[in-house]
Structure 1
Amino acid sequence: MTFKENALTAPSDFDLEAYRKAVALDLRLFAFLHGQEIDKEAFLELKAHPFGYRMALEPAGKTAQEALAVIDRGWAVLEEQGVQSAIDELGADYASIYLTYKLRASPSESVWFDDDHLMRQDPMFDIRDWYERYGLKSADWSRRSEDHLSLQLEFIARLMEDPATGLEQAAQFLDEHLLRWIGEFAARVSSRCATPFYAGFAPLTACYLEDMRDVIEAATGYARPVAEDETEPGDKSSNLQLQPDILS
């Protein structure tokens, strides 16, 4: 089951319930991989099959397919170093992206919109309000704030798998939060990180969310807001340029 090349022409017999369940599964996979380092068990599991094989829905767009190819080709490059060395390199890259912010590509939304690029600012509190409406909260907001990418992905998965929640709510949350900055996050990670996995995985995440939003619009008629500033974080992920030299 894949996204259509043009999500806005979804067939009339589109199985929305199955789609919601599939998206929830994929978003949980993404949340897991954006939320912690890849250990030996995960490394061996990930490289055993093409990444698209692990997804319930595989985005069909050109940028997404290029991102998947970068991930899959990258395992061979990492394996040349030996398993432990590859895991260490992935761990160092994870730290540069998600912990030390060496790449200036924060996984926390506040940093993208606060004038001083500070964490735990207004976006975090707005997202916290969203979570509370659905009886959810961060397990430890001092360690991982509510506006962290992995927690937002997990929250959208919850919305998608709950049949009592309208797709419009998931679309509204995407419009107000993740889609405003995930494209720029992905572009920076892709061009600045050290490993093929994250060079492909960040753009893949952005493409998946954009495709998901298109499907919701096709299914519900809930249109995206008109962008006031095309230069702000959140430009369409189709504009991403993958870095071919990441595999060298």
Structure 2
Amino acid sequence: MQETKAFNEKRAEIYWWLSSLFAKELTEENLQQYHSAQIRSFLSGLGENAELKPAVERVVDALNRLIDREDSQLELAADFCDLFLKSDRDSALPYASLYIGKNGLLNDTPAKELEALMNKHGVSVEHGLNEPVDHIAIVLDFLGHLVIRSNELEQQRHLEDALIQQEQFIQAHLLSWLPPFVAKCQKLDQFGFYAAIASLTEAFLKLDSHYLIGDE
């Protein structure tokens, strides 16, 4: 049980890390950290898993190319804006509602379902992130919360039930729409950093889902 809880801490950290990348542009300080030995070691560790390796290699390649990219922070911020903040036609907007059903942003069902779940768990959207709750950054952040909250459980069967609920959440609220979102990122992100992050997010969610149902 303690081994599972220790692993949960790592899972939550990864979800919160991925969430932060979709929440806002990287600062100059952020970029310097991504070139540090600590972050590169973290990425190397993720890449040791065969299912994550291709996406991790793409992330590392983009980071390496950033070193030689003129005005790299400004250019990467422009990539973020172009990819996530324009119109649905020109961007890969990161909202579940756009990829589930046929009504696009008029489809408020995903947001309502997520809002009900967040209220049930006493979670509110991070102050300053003025986005609907079906934004990928908010969904990933909430998933990290569910993971770490399960570590408060003291009985094995309750923890196992929580893991099952996390897998159901991943399927219903992320993998149900991530593939077309990720495909759109690949099409529109010419430099490739955020396309690689999107691919890594999908790959990690699939890997985590297999782990949660015991299909390792």
- Give the alignment's TM-score, normalised by structure 2: 0.84
Q: Match of 1:245?
A: none
SS of structure 2 residue aligned to 1:180: coil
* Unaligned ranges ≥5, structure 1: 1-12, 220-248
Which of 17, 42, 52 aligns to 1:54? It is 42
Give the 3-state SS of the residue equivalent to 1:107 in structure 2.
coil
Displacement of 1:103 = 4.5
Higher helix share: 2
Q: Does residue 212 in structure 1 map to residue 208 in structure 2?
A: yes
Root mean square deviation, CA, Å? 2.8
Query: Partners in 1 of 2:206 and 2:148 — Cα distance?
Result: 18
Q: Which moved more, 1:112-121 or 1:194-203?
A: 112-121
The answer to whether the 8 Å contact 1:107/1:149 transfers is yes
Q: CA offset at residue 137 of structure 1?
A: 2.2
Contact 1:114 1:121 (C-alpha < 8 Å) held by counterparts: no
Work out whether residues 97 and 105 of structure 2, in 8 Å CA contact, stay in contact via their aligned partners in 1. yes
For residue 196 of structure 2, the aligned residue among 200, 222, 226 is 200
- SS in structure 1 at match of 2:105: coil
Asked if 1:172 corresponds to 2:168, the answer is: yes
Following superposition, the deviation at residue 218 of structure 1 comes to 0.2
The count of aligned residue pairs is 206
Cα 1:116–1:206 change in 2 (3 A) is same
Provide the residue aligned with 2:156 in structure 1. Answer: none
- Helix, strand or coil: the match of 2:194? helix
TM-score of the superposition, structure 1-length normalised? Answer: 0.74
Distance in 1 of aligned mates of 2:2 and 2:181: 31
Contact 2:91/2:188, CA 8 A, preserved across alignment: no
* Structure-1 separation of matches of 2:142 and 2:62: 30
Corresponding residue for residue 77 of structure 2: 91
- Match for residue 124 of structure 2? 137
Residue 121 of structure 2 is aligned to residue 125 of structure 1? no
Question: 1:138, 1:120 → 2: CA distance?
Answer: 20
Of residues 138, 141, 157, the one that matches 2:144 is: 157
Structure 1 segments (4+ residues) deviating >3 Å: 49-52, 59-63, 101-104, 139-142
In 2, the alpha carbon distance for the partners of 1:142 and 1:58 equals 28
- Partners of 2:127 and 2:147 lie apart in 1 by 23
Identify unmatched segments of 5+ residues in structure 2.
154-158
> What is the percent sequence identity of the aligned residues?
20
8 Å contact 1:111–1:117 — kept in the other structure? yes
Report the Cα offset of residue 55 of structure 1: 5.6
Q: Which residue of 2 aligns with 1:222?
A: none
